[in-house]
Amino acid sequence: MRIPGIPDFQFAQPAWLLVLLLFPLLKALRGGRGRGAAIVFPGASMLGDLGKSSRSGLGWLWFSLVLTSVAVAIMALARPQKLLSTEEEKTDGISIMLTVDVSLSMLIEDFYIGGQPVNRLTAAKRVMTDFIQGRRSDRIGIVAFAGETYLPCPLTLDRDWLINNLDRVQTQRVGDGTAIGSGIASAANRIKKEKTPSKIIVLLTDGANNSGRLSPQDAAKLAATLGIKIYTIAIGTPGVHVIPDPRRGTFTPVGQQLFDEKTLKEVAVIGNGQFYMAQDLNSLAEVFATIDKLEKAKIERRKFTEAEELFHYPLYAAAALLVLALLLCLTLLRTSPESVTV
């Protein structure tokens, strides 16, 4: 039985508390008037000097102590308990490989953060950081690719370490070009041995496949046979752009920006995922937010409630009150007659 207003307390055997309903009756019987006097004296003053006044008039205190002791003992029999609740959370998580294009065209500054122009790679890192921070139970890794691939960060649960390793996602680390097929194959190879219930690749690129020996479609088919889902994102704005070269301080014209949407859509269909287009920071953030909602890990929560027995506290109190009543009965509340000197 729970006590209103005290959510962490209960009586395991509350039926014993019904006995307390008899206590008002016992107190009433104790306080009632007794039988009439056997001898009636014409005046009480003639008995005034027969002895000292008795202290038995405090007998109500002894009775109250005994009654309280029994009441507290009954509360002990009702087994008061403190409830201790714990909640267990279990999740298998998801394995995610962020596969990022680091070709020179990712340095084109057609995105804005706080009103300031930034390149596509910086914008991608900004959004990926928020994405990583929100995936608390997932193993996430990063594959970067241009003409070749490299691994800035293997799969890990350490989000802080992963975010720090985003600095290793840079252009000019490997040969230039856009080997989308190689990027997918490398990511699939890194994630295939994971035992999580869901494995996904998030591919982010701003160009068309022009390098590598494996086509994006064939790489996607390989990943699909391994049970890996693929989301593809085309990042950037169409039009004529130039690529800043931070080493030389010059600009390299790239001509008309072309996105191979057809190939990216085919890869997404083969990989049982979806294709997205992101032309500004907000749309890119929305894409990752959508993927975040679509790929949620199943979380199982189980609540356990344990009870800590508290009956010994009222039991000790009942014993203490009974001992106190006994001591008072043998000392201050003694009712034996005292000697009278005639």
Q: Would you say residue 189 has pLDDT above 90?
A: yes
Number of structural domains the chain divides into = 2
Q: What is the pLDDT of residue 16?
A: 82
Same domain, 147 and 223: yes
167 located within any domain: yes
107 located within any domain: yes
Dihedral sign computed on CA atoms, order 13, 15, 21, 26: negative
- The DSSP code for 130 is H
Q: Would you say residue 194 has pLDDT above 70?
A: yes
176 located within any domain: yes
pLDDT digits (tens, 9 = 90+) for 226-238: 999 999 999 998 8
pLDDT digits (tens, 9 = 90+) for 84-95: 765 555 666 789
Q: What is the mean pLDDT of the chain?
A: 81
What SS3 class is residue 25?
Answer: helix
Same domain, 106 and 253: yes
Same domain, 148 and 253: yes
Name the pTM for this structure: 0.62
d(CA 70, CA 48): 38
- 66 — pLDDT class (breaks 50, 70, 90): confident
Q: Measure CA 328 to chain center.
A: 57
Residue 287 domain boundaries: 93-297
Strands 139-145 and 95-101, by their bridges, are parallel
d(CA 216, CA 235): 17
Same domain, 192 and 277: yes
Which residue in 275, 272, 277 sits closest to 263, CA to CA?
275
d(CA 164, CA 131): 14
Q: Would you say residue 223 has pLDDT above 50?
A: yes
Q: Measure CA 27 to chain center.
A: 53
- 36 — pLDDT class (breaks 50, 70, 90): very low
39 located within any domain: no
Q: What is the pLDDT of residue 300?
A: 55
Do the Cβ atoms of 9 and 2 come closer than 8 Å?
yes
Percent of the chain with pLDDT over 90: 37
Expressed in angstroms, the distance from the first to the final Cα of the chain is 64
Dihedral sign computed on CA atoms, order 55, 56, 61, 62: positive
What SS3 class is residue 49?
Answer: coil
pLDDT digits (tens, 9 = 90+) for 131-174: 999 888 889 999 999 999 999 999 998 999 999 989 889 888 88
d(CA 143, CA 173): 12
